[in-house]
């Protein structure tokens, strides 16, 4: 009888351990899925920013090739200023994207940890 009780206790402990491991595995899978989605969003944003930067470079080349006519100079300077502002905005957007991604990742990990703690 004591042996049966011990076997039942061992089986219960194994079942509990397997349940915990299952919950942990599911949490890891959720985190990885979130990470994949985040990386995809980040790549798309980086591609957009890269395209914008390439357009800025092309526009700058065109401005440099513009006729150095004194009448056109204020217009060219205004366009150069606009391009520089756009470059700074693109850099700021990339930095914000990185910060947002880190914040989302941290929040997701906290949610998963909370779920794990509640399910055990």
DSSP assignments along 1-20, one per residue: -HHHHHHHHHHHHHHHHHHH
Residue whose pair of structure tokens reads 């980086």 in the numeric block: 46
What pLDDT does residue 64 have? 66
pLDDT, tens digit, 9 for 90 and up, residues 55-83:
777 777 776 676 566 566 777 777 778 77
Residue 44: HSE in the Cβ half-sphere, 13 Å Cα cutoff: 6
pTM tops 0.85, yes or no: no
Helix (H) or strand (E) holding 114: helix 73-119
* Share above pLDDT 70 across residues of the chain, in percent, rounded to a whole number: 91
């Amino acid at each position: 009888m004591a042996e049966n009780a011990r076997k039942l206790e061992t089986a219960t402990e194994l079942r509990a351990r397997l349940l915990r491991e299952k919950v942990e595995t599911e949490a890891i899978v959720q985190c990885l899925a979130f990470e994949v989605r985040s990386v995809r969003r980040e790549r798309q944003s980086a591609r957009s920013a890269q395209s914008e930067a390439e357009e800025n470079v092309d526009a700058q080349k065109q401005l440099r090739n513009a006729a150095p006519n004194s009448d056109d100079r204020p217009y060219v300077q205004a366009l150069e200023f606009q391009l520089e502002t756009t470059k700074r905005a693109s850099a700021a957007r990339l930095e914000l994207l990185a910060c947002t991604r880190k914040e989302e990742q941290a929040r997701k990990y906290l949610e998963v940890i909370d779920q794990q703690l509640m399910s055990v």
